[in-house]
Amino acid sequence: MAAEAWALGAVGVEELEGAIRVAFADHDRARVARNQLAPTAPVEAVDDDLWLGRERDRMETVEAGRFVVHPPWAPTPTRGIPLSIDPGAAFGSGSHQSTRLALELLGRIDLRDATVVDIGCGSGVLSIAAARLGATVHALDTDPAAVSATNANAAANAVADAITAELGSVARLDRVPSADVLVVNVTIDVHEMLARLLPWPPRIVVASGFLRGAQVERCAAAWERPTTDRVFDGEWVGLTLGP
């Protein structure tokens, strides 16, 4: 259902226990999507800054493999590789399990001089982590707030020169000739959609955003690559696929 929600104009999708929460920029679009996807689902109108407040309220300093993600108003950690992340109005403070799993997997790959593509970049935390490890990053998101947050956070972490953040769908990747590593933190149905649409085969895929069980096999099958590394956090799973 998440893939259909994105196609209907969603600006955010959050996977919950047995359900998803979808955000739209306006009430009319949300109502149309609800009628097509889940006619009995509630539609709630909220202030533009409500998600920002919720995300900020959840922010704390968290460790994820080699990285330590912290809000800019917290002291800079003296351990690990610090990432100062302000989500702005975008998703991705680093507190969600799927983000931490992707960070842990990225930290295990040699990214020196690599080209990384981050689809659904959100706050830019994964792009910035890759850049801190020596990669050149192309970041992409359909939400303007995500592009703004990625650019701001890249500057705050002194890696702005290594990251190009763009607004748009996967179709914009036809301007990127190839990628050594593709990092994708999305729901399983979006993984399956993206694997069909990508204009070139990445050498390695760092995949997260899905749960234990059948979704793990579905992800590996979609990207048609062997699993070379995997990490868990509760029911959440992160995979490194290929080469």
Each residue's pLDDT tens digit in the chain (243 positions)? 666 766 666 666 666 666 777 777 667 777 777 777 777 777 777 655 544 555 555 578 899 999 999 988 888 888 999 999 987 655 556 678 999 999 999 999 999 999 999 999 999 999 999 999 999 999 999 888 889 999 999 999 999 999 999 998 887 787 787 899 999 999 899 899 999 989 888 899 999 999 999 999 999 999 999 999 999 999 999 999 998
Longest distance between any two alpha carbons in the chain, whole Å: 50
Residue of 218, 212, 243 lying closest to 229 (CA atoms): 243
What is the C-alpha to C-alpha distance for residues 126 and 118, in angstroms, rounded to an integer? 7
Please report where in the chains the tokens 């306006």 appear, as a residue: 26
- State the pLDDT at residue 26: 67
- State the pLDDT at residue 176: 80
- State the pLDDT at residue 64: 94
- State the pLDDT at residue 173: 82
Residue 86 tokens, joined = 């302000």
What is the C-alpha to C-alpha distance for residues 167 and 160, in angstroms, rounded to an integer? 16
Residue 108 tokens, joined = 């295990």
- State the pLDDT at residue 6: 62
The pTM of this model reads 0.79
Strand 62-64 and strand 227-233: pairing? Answer: unpaired
- State the pLDDT at residue 145: 86
